Structure 1
């Protein structure tokens, strides 16, 4: 059983109004809210509408990162690579570096890199490279525009000029596709990029469990440590997806709160979206003690479940209870007894 006890030896995060775990905790104690009106630069007024507007977003507020800019010089990331990859990659890398430093091994110093691994939780990468796919849809847009111009009786020369101007407007905001475009747009390379930066060889991949992705990443990392596949793990979650693809979908599900957010409530209103990243550094408890590392907490059990034939997009009480039962069983704890 002692081999299954996992120590949390490092913490780092960047969330709206919280650039460290200490600041996040103070926000919790102070009951401060980071939900504000979505800025136009992230979601223009043309995308917003009421609950009956099928193609529009029925939400006005979200928790948005402010004043964050990735320091690519610090990590020696060349400009073309930086522009090709989604911002989630860089937020994850920066937060992972902070967790390493907090664990007493900045940049991975002092670790056996062959047994150090990374697991991140993420769904759909992020909004930035997703927006960039509009550039790749130019042939479809050009055909639709040309058809519309012909129907309006616009002459060939004038239509060609309009299409040329439109192509420049469509393509200009997005980077020219290159050899980093595909990797920079994939969720599975978020963890791989951290491994690449710090030369970790243990394991590195991304898991997608929707809203539970970050918890799934921690559970997966704990298993790798308990099974002695790795000796040190970074685990966490990252999300930056406040774009029409997700927000329209959530609006159609009627999952977004209209005013006050009440999620775990007898009278739920839905949730307000947000973005950010959190990372924990993990070791087997006995190894952490032997190396003299500070331990924030111990993880002694974990579990998961599926709702099966129940709700697909809405969690059911039975499935939640099953996951908790399995976690308590693994931890050999009775949830009905204090201590």
Structure 2
């Protein structure tokens, strides 16, 4: 009897490098990525007084609204079918797409990966109000598709014709960062060539603000709004709710090079972990955060000494900032972390929730591309325990040259931790 011969194993394809070729953003500092970036460099604050009769019973008096109304930038018939978060997402994606110079990407090899916490959930409140106050026939026929968290990703896919996939990631305030990391993996493993990835959020509503206030998570903002969010400050009092979107165009390196694209940076790796500790409070030992940091460095094939910049999560909550600082000391050591310039974007734009990781990834990519670290707004008095080299007052030149690693950190309620490792590719 002839002996059966097993076929030779097929070698796994080499994993591809993933690069960033486009950026887009709408934030409290500006209606596009360039204006937002300049605002960060200038040390401006996008935090303003909370206005509107609907917020009268809420003691918190500051908020970080987007600098533009997205509905005014879209045709009315299009805007009315989209949640505010989806409107932000579509506009930031359009900017990133144009910035990347993509004109003939294969739609069947182009995907979308967007992080959000609530997506269109504020629409649910409006629909319920219409139902109870006026009756069922006054509930919009667009309400249900606007409510679903997958709306922003779907609307981007519809708008730009991305037919491969449209994924939604919901991982609390780490959502945007996880969406970018997952998108990079899809390209790296050969499934896609191009992905629009990032985060979008719009939750400045009375019910959400009241809920955060009841948790005592928000800065009261009873002084200068520009100093309400105070990352890593000894006297920090909580975060400021923000809104907007940040989107990157991720692309397989060979795909980008073949069309002569400008490359901002490489997505060298990412790490994710879970505290498995508490729905609101982080682990006080910072071990969950440290685990994500170590995984990101390992995935990038990098060591702590390769890191030239960190964009910290730093929401300006007492426990959150302390856990992050402790984790950075644990991973780097006191001597090594002292040489790494750290910035905390939320001092200028507040906390954009599920969009935070997307916007902060845009800022980190631009820091690598331009070779400069923007200052942290709102910080006045350093902590004595686990100090960091926080950039304050003015921008600082980025140390080193091509090959340096920048980390973009995101940590969320429920113990979701995610870290992007981005590599500087050239000047």
Counterpart secondary structure, 1:19 = coil
CA distance in 2: counterparts of 1:20 and 1:197, whole angstroms: 18
CA RMSD, Structure 1 to Structure 2 (Å): 2.4
The structure-2 alpha-carbon separation of the partners of 1:113 and 1:84, relative to structure 1 and needing over 3 Å to count, comes to closer
| Corresponding residue of 1:134 | 128
Where does residue 30 of structure 1 map in the other structure?
42
1:135/1:189 Cα in 2 relative to 1: closer, same or farther (>3 Å)?
Answer: same
Out of 83, 86, 92, the residue aligned to residue 89 of structure 2 is 92
Per mean C-alpha deviation after superposition, the further-off stretch among 213-222 and 281-290 is: 281-290
2:281 corresponds to: 314
Contact residue 117 and residue 230 of structure 1 kept, 8 A: yes
The answer to whether the aligner puts 1:212 opposite 2:174 as a matched pair is yes
TM-score normalized by the length of structure 2: 0.62
Deviation at 1:247, TM superposition (A): 1.6
Task: Answer 1 or 2: which has greater strand percent.
Answer: 2
Contact persistence 2:196–2:249 (CA under 8 A): yes
Q: TM-score, normalised by structure 1?
A: 0.78
CA contact (8 A) 1:127 1:240 kept: no
Q: Taking structure 1 as reference, are residues 267 and 133 closer, same or farther at Cα in structure 2, changes over 3 Å only?
A: same
Report what 1:82 is aligned to.
79
Q: Secondary structure at the match of 1:300?
A: strand
Mapped to 1, the partners of 2:256 and 2:201 lie a distance apart of 29
Shift of residue 127, structure 1, vs aligned partner? 5.8
Q: How does 1:215-226 map to 2 (within 5 A)?
A: 215-226=177-188
Offset, 1:175? 5.7
Q: Which residue number corresponds to residue 105 of structure 2?
A: 111
Partners in 1 of 2:253 and 2:230 — Cα distance? Answer: 37
Taking the TM superposition and a 5 Å limit, the aligned residue runs for 1:235-250 are 235-250=197-212
Q: Do the aligned partners of residues 85 and 25 (structure 1) sit closer, same or farther apart at CA in structure 2, a change above 3 Å counting?
A: closer
**Which runs of 5 or more structure 2 residues have no equivalent in the other structure?**
1-12, 222-227, 308-403, 405-427
Give, in angstroms, the shift of residue 329 of structure 1.
0.6
Query: What's the offset of the Cα at 1:235?
Result: 0.4
CA distance in 2, matches of 1:295, 1:91: 24
Deviation, structure 1 residue 299:
1.2
Based on CA coordinates, which of the two structures has the bigger radius of gyration?
1
Q: Which of residues 319, 327, 331 is equivalent to 2:300? A: 331
Determine which structure has the larger helix proportion and give its number.
1
Residue number among 30, 44, 55 corresponding to 2:55 in the alignment: 44
Partner of 2:378: none
| Equivalent residues of 2:31, 2:66 under 8 A apart | no
1:9 Cα deviation from its structure 2 partner? 0.2
Asked if 2 retains the 8 angstrom alpha-carbon contact of 1:127 and 1:242, the reply is no
Deviation at 1:228, TM superposition (A): 1.0
Larger relative contact order (C-alpha < 8 A, sep ≥ 6)?
A: 1
Q: Which residue of 2 aligns with 1:181?
A: 143
Q: Secondary structure of the residue that 1:321 maps to in structure 2?
A: helix
Q: Match of 1:326, SS?
A: helix
TM superposition outliers: structure 1 runs of 4+ over 4 Å: none
Deviates more, 1:21-30 or 1:96-105: 21-30
